[in-house]
Structure 1
């Protein structure tokens, strides 16, 4: 059966505050501008080859040659398809790094005047730091020139988190939701027949799984945003208002923040013993290798799970994080262009390959992410988990973003990440939250 992603659903997801992912690791300080107001500094791929081919660079947060992640493999195919189709005219060279080091290495290139012509980025503060100093180019005219913008679900609404003062600075590639992935066989053997819908139900499920001899939950505190994503769900379920905190009308020491953080400590007794040092990749592998019953992660993990262990797909279920009153963390990875690229036409042509029908069908039918365009895809070919994620979105009342990507600054998000890890490792809740409060006093509220 052909399935077209509903415009209303996707527009709502994109218009709302979005996280993420998934593209974050430790969030670095904002980069200095790459002489964005001047054309004296060339971006990394400015030189044309000796045969007149325009060479551009794209920076990405995974090794495209070694990866098992199906979305990354799709991106590799897109690069190869672009280079083949534009042979003799354009050629893209890929600069890769691991997820945790991505932004630090990107910022180092920006500071050195070697900004990649094209780079992947998450909406929110991680994009702000490239828009504000003029590192990222305005893409509005390119999107409107030939109807490209109209191919996106919701039109301009799809770009709400990439738009500043009416100008669009990045192109979304896909949509993902943060959900609870679970091992259906382990749940059945533990006697869990209905999925948790509230916090007590989540704790009860963990207790049953542990009683059946399973590790209930795998998570990464070694990759801090993974732990803070869980903390973000808990804060939102307690009614924490980030906008009120940013404006100084609420505090990180308020009772609802304390209650949420106490819940994080409460559920941490069900984490795998190595959670403190495990990276995101290791924590995810614990799940698809059936060493733990649940994984709280974005639906981008579908591509990683199915790529590494295809046979696990049949026993991988998905449900919405419980107790959030229908609110879901949503994320879109995006592409930005250097304001100093010497070959903007080549970069735009490259970006369009990520949003053409071939790439967007692959996004759904193989990668298990939700496309951002109006493309029709064959739902029968898509990973089983995508249908579950679509159900989560379909039942969602609203979406919100990763906490560390929704705060006043990237540094504030990093401070929150660090505080959640410290609290998990044993720092008293109020003491850990006081470090975030102090950061806001010194760097947000007094600015």
Structure 2
């Protein structure tokens, strides 16, 4: 095997290739005993931090990663990759402890809920900058889809390599849209969206679902807030000041409540399912009982289940634009799974080989097919592997065009502020006075002493 040694980190030194097989031909010309080409290169050992044991994992992502590890190690005479498992409930605590003691393993897996930590550890010098590596291999760098690095950047540099990509969108039941004579491609503005809701309601079809348990009320409000006021409200939350202007919050709160007043949402919206089941019947998008649902692309796996009532009946559309709003109107809220390389690693060239393995076409297609998430790279989903997975192919087409992505995740606020933020929007949905809602949110946020530092990438 011809092993390429990459010099692409720690100051961006020029890439240098050492090809062992080129030397073999030269050595054949030397007298016997003049040199030993049978000397073994010391095998590089890499350690990667993951959150689930292989034997107990029901997580398709981890199953795919373990399979990729097997492929990487098979026949590899120069690198061996091993996993270090820290169970999910303790994963973040262990990650923090290892970083603080400069004992991070060579590679770290970050899920969407931990992407805020990429910036934190990059700022603290715990992660190796990967920008020089990517720039040194332009073919690899250009293979990533638009917006893939949204969760990997800090101060204009890249600190982790994405392996999957997902975004929040509106799913709709194509059968219900046909019944109500609605064309999804004609829903571009908020007014178009409200007209579609009214047409669905008139046809006796529940228009929209925002599950309180899944915090989709807050994500729906995020979209409206971004369309109305841009990224400034999110920046004031992330810098810890929570100095929130009343006007955009009041308007968005009123828009949410209007959905309830017009009966476009079920009566339990904003409450938990447990609360609603005491008073009436729950409705479910997956069971074909409501026309639209806001959710992440990871929901697609549920649509494909054999017991799903909407299998083959789901379309995807972006969140509508808000006419007169100051925000960029084609923004998608997006997140990624990614892998970072620690500065404690002494074999960063070998670590990059693993990152390239995880972003190779075959692995990316397997991840997309198994996880029902978009690949991080521009691989084509127009293959037999994705027959019957129309929603994923449709999402890939929507998100392959030029677009803007925003990585705001409420977990960046810290758990207490996150809860306060979600409760505020539930209150607005149920008719709480916007000024009172905002005052309570600022009061709750100020009561929290600390907050993870994060800067917004878009």
Bin the TM-score by the shorter chain: 0.5 to 0.7
Give the secondary-structure state (helix, strand or coil) at the position aligned to 1:263: helix
**Shift in Å, 1:335:** 1.7
SS at match of 1:296: strand
Who is 2:244 aligned against? 252
Work out the CA distance in 2 between the residues paired with 1:297 and 1:362.
23
In structure 2, the residue matched to 1:388 is: 394
| Partner SS, residue 287 of structure 1 | coil
Provide the TM-score with structure 2 as the length reference: 0.65
Q: CA RMSD in A?
A: 4.6
- Give 2:183's aligned residue: 194
Distance 1:109 1:422 in 2: 40
Change (3 A) 1:307 1:105: farther
Once the two structures are superposed, what CA deviation does each residue of 1:247-287 show, in whole Å capped at 9, x if it has no partner? 899952431221112223333561473764369xxxxx943
Aligned counterpart in structure 2 of residue 420 of structure 1, from 425, 437, 442:
425
How many Å apart are 1:304 and its aligned residue? 4.6
- Which stretch of the first structure deviates more once superposed, 177-186 or 247-256? 247-256
- 1:29-48 → structure 2 map (5 Å cutoff): none
Aligned: 1:162 with 2:167:
no
Q: Give the equivalent residue in structure 1 for 2:38.
A: none
Which residue matches 1:316? 314
Please tell me whether residue 132 in structure 1 is matched to residue 123 in structure 2.
Answer: yes
Question: Given the superposition, is the C-alpha separation of residues 335 and 208 from structure 1 closer, same or farther in structure 2, using an over 3 Å criterion?
Answer: same
SS in 1 for 2:229: coil
The DSSP-based 3-state class of the residue aligned with 2:399 is: helix
CA 95–293 in structure 1, closer or farther in 2 if over 3 Å, else same = farther
Asked which structure has the greater RCO (Cα within 8 Å, sep 6+), the reply is: 1
| TM alignment of 1:298-377, pairs within 5 A | 298-306=296-304, 312-324=310-322, 325-341=329-345, 344=348, 347-364=351-368, 367-377=371-381
- Distance in structure 2 (CA, Å) of the matches to 1:103 and 1:255: 37
**Count of residue pairs brought into register by the alignment:** 384
Q: Does 1:120 align with 2:110?
A: yes
Q: Give 1:118 deviation, angstroms.
A: 1.3
Find out whether 1:273 has 2:277 as its counterpart.
no
What runs of 5+ residues in structure 1 fail to find an aligned partner?
1-51, 280-284
> Match for residue 3 of structure 1?
none
CA pair 84-102 structure 1, distance change in 2 beyond 3 A? same
Partner of 1:90, secondary structure, is: strand
Aligned residues of 1:240 and 1:256 also touching (Cα < 8 A): no
1:185 to 158, 175, 183: 175
Task: Pick which of 302-311 and 289-298 moved more.
Answer: 302-311
2:438 corresponds to: 433
Whether contact under 8 Å (1:221, 1:275) holds in the other structure is yes
TM-score by length of 1: 0.67
1:279-298 equivalent positions in 2, closer than 5 A: 286-298=284-296
Partner Cα separation in structure 2 for residue 149 and residue 266 of structure 1: 48
Match of 2:278 in 1: none
Change (3 A) 1:263 1:291: same
Matches of 1:289 and 1:106, distance apart in 2: 39
Mean Cα displacement is larger for which, 348-357 or 384-393?
384-393
* TM superposition shift of 1:233: 0.7
Of 406, 409, 414, 1:400 maps to: 406
Shift of the 363–121 alpha-carbon distance from structure 1 to 2, 3 Å rule, reads closer
Q: Conserved in 2, the CA contact under 8 Å of 1:173 and 1:371?
A: yes
* Partners of 1:308 and 1:180 in 2: CA distance: 22
* Separation (CA, whole Å) in 1 of partners of 2:287 and 2:273: 15
Q: CA deviation at 1:73?
A: 5.0
The 8 Å contact of residues 68 and 307 in structure 1, kept in 2 or not, is answered as no
Cα distance in 2, alignment partners of residues 442 and 188 from structure 1: 49
Residue 15 of structure 2 aligns with which residue?
none
Q: Deviations over 1:121-146 (max 9, x none)?
A: 44974432222223333234544566
Are the aligned partners of 1:135 and 1:338 in contact in 2 as well (CA < 8 Å)? Answer: yes
Q: How does 1:71-150 map to 2 (within 5 A)?
A: 74-84=64-74, 86=76, 89-93=79-83, 95=85, 103=92, 106-107=95-96, 110=99, 115=104, 117-122=107-112, 125-144=116-135, 149-150=140-141
In the aligned structure 2, how far is the partner of 1:159 from the partner of 1:405?
18
Deviation at 1:320, TM superposition (A): 1.7
Contact 1:221–1:276, Cα closer than 8 Å, also in 2:
yes
Q: Deviations over 1:22-71 (max 9, x none)?
A: xxxxxxxxxxxxxxxxxxxxxxxxxxxxxx883623325899955475x5
Structure 1: how far apart are the matches of 2:71 and 2:309?
Answer: 29
Q: Aligned partners of 2:125 and 2:62: how far apart in 1?
A: 28
**What is the distance in 1 between the residues matched to 2:83 and 2:109?**
12
State the SS of the aligned residue for 1:152.
coil
Deviation sequence 1:196-239 (CA, Å, 0-9, x none): 43334434444554566655434343344x33221111112223
